[in-house]
Amino acid sequence: MDLVTLQNSLDNLSFAVLLVTMLLYWSGMAFPKIPYLATLGTAGMAIANLSIASLLGARWIEAGYFPLSNLYESLFFIAWGLTATHLLAEYLSRSRWVGAVTSPVAMGITAFATLSLPGEMQVAEPLVPALQSNWLMMHVSVMLLSYACLMVGSLLAIAFLIVTRGQAVSLTGSSYGNGNRRQTPLNKLQTVSDVPSVQFSSNSSSGSVATPTLERISLETTPTWSPETLSLAQVLDNISYRMIGLGFPLLTIGIIAGGVWANEAWGSYWSWDPKETWALITWLVFAAYLHARITKGWQGRRPAILAAAGFCVVWVCYMGVNLLGKGLHSYGWFF
């Protein structure tokens, strides 16, 4: 079997394995009393990770350069990063929710690369002069790994919003900060509403009839949250923070490496190319997320919403700008 045939087999295998893995994780969510479904899902992610790594290795041997020169290769590299980050997040959290939210994204990426891209875009071609640099491996690989970590962290934040159903919940121990906030026990979710209460007062000296007066009081209501749900929310919030905390330094290093490479290739560190602009926007969004958690002490719903918005920004930066066919970083497929 030659390397081209091997690559075609491996990309189809990766897609099929991830499809089955997604179904296993979703079945595990639907039937939580069947423990081996989650174990099989984890095994499927590991198999997909090894299949994609073998595909990239075979392509590297065939082409003679690190396989990150076109959209097909970058899609499989980011799918490999997603599956690897998934395995780390699942090891830390021990939760079925990690696979339930990450496996559809990994499967969708491989499906798009395998089934939707034209055949000519899947063929390895000689590198243009600007890409014949060691910075190709340094800059692009670090950027794609950062996208994978940020996506997994953002997906776990979305899972947190689903688990808590959009209700504010006070958590402890998920991040460090000096923000002044009143901590609420993990098993108590409080909402406060002011309602008028009628109290009667009488004037005994005059013998007058008691008259009603209005006073504002606060009522506390506690929704029926099970300890398991609150513990899951705590885990998702914590692991989401850790994954984003891992992806943000990688994003920073990747942007810096890209600037150095751009100066070497085109004589300018920054040219406000659309890709560069959106990379900066992505950096600012997740910098705001980490700033809010570390210095302001945000936890729970507010940072989760910010991370969910960051998920969309990452996809615009990675895919949206490229497919418009504008700038130095575009793959130019749609336009």
Q: What is the DSSP string of 283-314?
A: HHHHHHHHHHHHTS---THHHHHHHHHHHHHH
CA-based diameter of the chain, in Å? 107
Q: Is the model more confident about 129 or about 126?
A: 126
Return the pLDDT at 230: 77
**How confident is the prediction for the chain on average, in pLDDT?**
79
State which of 158-167, 205-214, 315-324 shows the largest mean pLDDT.
Answer: 158-167
Question: Tens of pLDDT along 1-36?
Answer: 577 788 888 999 999 999 999 999 999 988 888 878
Beta-carbon contacts of residue 98 (< 8 Å; ≥ 6 apart): 86, 89, 90, 152, 156, 159, 239
Q: Is the model more confident about 320 or about 282?
A: 282
Q: What is the mean pLDDT of residues 99-105?
A: 94
Three-state SS string over 152-187 comes to HHHHHHHHHHHHHCCCCCCCCCCCCCCCCCCCCCCC
Say if residue 99's pLDDT is above 50: yes
Residue 218's Cβ-count burial label (10 Å; 0-12, 13-18, 19+) is exposed
Q: Provide the b/e sequence for 48-68 (b: ≥16 CB within 10 Å).
A: bbebbbbbbebbbeebebbbb
Structural element, H or E, at residue 62: helix 36-63
Return the pLDDT at 210: 46
Question: Tens of pLDDT along 178-222?
Answer: 444 433 333 333 333 333 333 434 444 444 444 444 333 333 344
Q: Model pTM greater than 0.75?
A: yes
- Residue 66 DSSP SS3: coil
Say if residue 177's pLDDT is above 60: no
Weakest-pLDDT range from 163-167, 174-178, 229-233: 174-178
- Fold held by 1-127: Four Helix Bundle (Hemerythrin (Met), subunit A) (1.20.120)
Q: Which residues pair with 120 in a beta bridge?
A: none
Q: How confident is the model at residue 327 (pLDDT cuts 50, 70, 90)?
A: low
* CB distance 259 to 271 below 8 Å: no
d(CA 40, CA 181): 42
Say if residue 173's pLDDT is above 80: no
Weakest-pLDDT range from 118-132, 139-153, 243-257: 118-132
Query: Domain spans of the chain?
Result: 1-127, 142-176+226-335, 191-221
Q: Is the model more confident about 228 or about 290?
A: 290
Say if residue 59's pLDDT is above 70: yes
d(CA 286, CA 247): 9
